[in-house]
Amino acid sequence: MKKSLLLLCVVLASYSLEAQTNTPAPSPSSTLTQKVGFTDVTIEYSRPSMRGRAIFGGLVPFDKVWRTGANARTKITFSDDVTVDGQKLAAGSYAVYTKPGATSWEVFFYTDADGGGTPQNWEESKIAAKTKAEVFTLPMSVETFTMTIDDLSSGSAATLGMFWDTTYVGVKFEVPTTKK
């Protein structure tokens, strides 16, 4: 009887372990670190894919705040104070939220950088900077949401780029050009 019970436990445990097989995340996380001038910029985000879905105006509705990625809030960290559209952002971490539109997006740098998704209670007082960015239509489709830091040639500015589907949006930011 004891041997039968032990055998049953072993069989059940093996089924339980098999049910916990890991599979790749559908929206894998990504970290991008880039030096812009003397400033370190890091973006932590998750990368959803189209998978045959309509993205902007579909999966991501127009005129609603989006967490700009998947799973958790997209976080951007600046090692120094920066300027976005004439607005000073202190060194530190911010959640990047967007409100996509057909021809332009609003982009928000939100002081509550940790947590999942969009805040249940959106607080205007937590918006450290807000800007509008023009939508550009790409000649090809980008399957997986991608964020970049581009246009580094000046050493004093760069562009936070967002690509997905046939959409590109870029937000220029400026960094200090003298060492501390």
**pLDDT at 115 (0 to 100):** 83
**pLDDT at 153 (0 to 100):** 86
DSSP secondary structure letters along 95-136: EEEEE--SSEEEEEEES---SBSS-SS--GGGEEEEEEEEEE
Mean pLDDT of the chain, nearest integer = 91
CA distance 161 to 172: 9
- Sequence-separated (6 or more) residues with CB below 8 Å from residue 3: none
Q: Return the minimum-mean-pLDDT range out of 3-7, 39-43, 104-108.
A: 3-7
Tens-digit pLDDT profile for residues 114-170: 888 888 899 999 999 999 999 999 999 999 999 999 999 888 999 999 999 999 999
pTM for the whole structure: 0.86
Q: Is the pLDDT of residue 21 over 90?
A: no
